[in-house]
Amino acid sequence: MRVNAIVAGVAMTPFGKHMDKSLKQLGGRPVLDAVKDAGIELSDIEAAYVGNCAAGTVTGQESIRGQVILSSIGLGKVPIINIENACGSGSTALNQACMMVSAGYYDVVLALGVEKLFHENKAITYAAFGGAIDVEVRDQMMAEITAGQSEGSGTKRSMFADFYGVMARDLMQKYDCTPEHFAMISAKNSLHGSLNPNAQFHDEMTVEEVMAQPMIVDPLTRPMICPVADGGAAAIVVSERKARQLGIERPVRVVSTALYSYFDHPEGAEENVTSLAVDEAYYEAGVGPADLDVVELHDSSAPCELMSYDHLHLCEPDDVVKLLEDGDTKLGGRIPVNTSGGLLRKGHPVGATGISQILELTLQLQGRAGKRQVENARVGLAHNGGGTINGEVAAMNITILKR
């Protein structure tokens, strides 16, 4: 959808293991900081969209998650809409906030993503991901994917790790790549993450070090699969009128936000969930892949990032490996990808991930990204999907921002 909304303020918690922090703390702090960053008062917020995926499973908090979190910092009365849309929960919250501002219903809207995934019982953490698939066919699908070797899936590791293993092996055939190429992505993102104070991991790794880590699912070692995390991220979205009133000097506009869901289609069809979202986002924004200066994409595994180079048309399918090997997606390259460290190094607090991508792009387009700044960045794209139905993403969000 074509939108006309401006990101006035952004903030996030450091992502990581925060056993001592509640859902309220993880969500409340970035809201207060984003309000300050926008130069407004908490009372200026006219509506709030709150993305969260797993609080019901992990913390027991159902139904009124946003109301509980926001009332703890003094924000109430206004419409608070709770959004659960798998790993795309946060970006879906932003999508809805932008549409309401663009339609003229509100001048100031909060989009919040928050998640608490770490639990003393790891099985509960992994169980939070077990519902992001059609549960009526889950056991059958897992049996087929793991070929009966499913021990530990869903209890000692996320069941999605097994999906990533199948994906990796398929992509090795499709793109003629090797596990070392997946390691190159993890190493690249570790460099970027080492420059991001809000990332979960700050150690820079070499390709050799990534390859030497324990294998989780053949052929993927631990750094090739994103870690879970706790955290929150918030964005204040305003109308043009409000932006002028606030005197925002470096406005970042959300120029398109496309959200599509799974639909039945023939296997191998050109039109799918991702292609529809990508094509609409480019069309409505009036830009193409060559116009992008920086990309935050959903690298829930290293193979996912490699595949997304193709899906986002950053290069021709036959040039996916070359794009990586030439360093084009690294800071200083032609099209830096996941300058935040991506999910692989920043971590993946599911409901907060989409908003954290918007934060990174906003900082980049405003020249506030510090040591990981992309020179003269003007156009950024965020790619955030989640869940799976019949082996395909269940919900896909593509957002394009311009300075």
pLDDT digits (tens, 9 = 90+) for 276-291: 999 999 999 999 999 9
Average pLDDT over residues 145-163: 69
User: Which residue ranges make up each domain of the chain?
Assistant: 2-120+228-402
Phi, psi of 379 (to 5 degrees): -130, 130
Query: How many Å from the N-terminal Cα to the C-terminal Cα in the chain?
Result: 19
CB 384 within 8 A of CB 351: no
Count of other CB atoms within 10 angstroms of residue 15: 31
pLDDT higher than 70, residue 343:
yes
User: What residues have CB less than 8 Å from 55, skipping those under 6 apart?
Assistant: 23, 61, 62, 65, 115, 116
Helix axes 350-365, 89-102, angle to 10 degrees: 60
pLDDT higher than 60, residue 154:
no
Count of other CB atoms within 10 angstroms of residue 67: 16
Which residue in 273, 254, 280 sits closest to 358, CA to CA?
A: 254
Q: Which residue has the higher pLDDT, 110 or 390?
A: 110
Active-site residue set: 87, 348
Looking at the structure, give the CATH architecture of the domain made up of residues 2-120+228-402. 3-Layer(aba) Sandwich (3.40)
pLDDT higher than 80, residue 157:
no
pTM of the model: 0.96
pLDDT digits (tens, 9 = 90+) for 241-280: 999 999 998 899 999 999 999 999 988 888 999 999 999 9
pLDDT digits (tens, 9 = 90+) for 219-245: 999 999 999 999 999 999 999 999 999
Angstrom CA distances, 199 to 189, 196, 204, 228, 320, stand at: 11, 5, 12, 12, 26
**Model confidence at 148, in pLDDT bands (50, 70, 90)?**
low
Q: How far apart are CA 162 and CA 154, in angstroms?
A: 9
Count of other CB atoms within 10 angstroms of residue 403: 18
pLDDT higher than 60, residue 339:
yes
Q: What percent of the chain has pLDDT over 70?
A: 97
pLDDT digits (tens, 9 = 90+) for 289-307: 999 999 999 999 999 999 9
User: What residues have CB less than 8 Å from 397, skipping those under 6 apart?
Assistant: 88, 91, 92, 94, 95, 257, 258, 259, 277, 354, 382, 383, 384, 385
Which residue in 242, 14, 231, 233 sits closest to 109, CA to CA?
A: 242
pLDDT higher than 90, residue 218:
yes
Helix axes 302-311, 160-174, angle to 10 degrees: 50
Angstrom CA distances, 151 to 145, 228, 387, stand at: 12, 20, 22
**Model confidence at 160, in pLDDT bands (50, 70, 90)?**
confident
Q: How far apart are CA 163 and CA 167, in angstroms?
A: 6
CB 226 within 8 A of CB 300: yes
Q: What average pLDDT does the chain have?
A: 95
Q: How far apart are CA 285 and CA 254, in angstroms?
A: 9
CB 200 within 8 A of CB 228: no
**Model confidence at 141, in pLDDT bands (50, 70, 90)?**
confident
Q: Which pLDDT score is estimated for 156?
A: 65
Q: How many residues does the chain have?
A: 403
Q: How far apart are CA 10 and CA 37, in angstroms?
A: 6
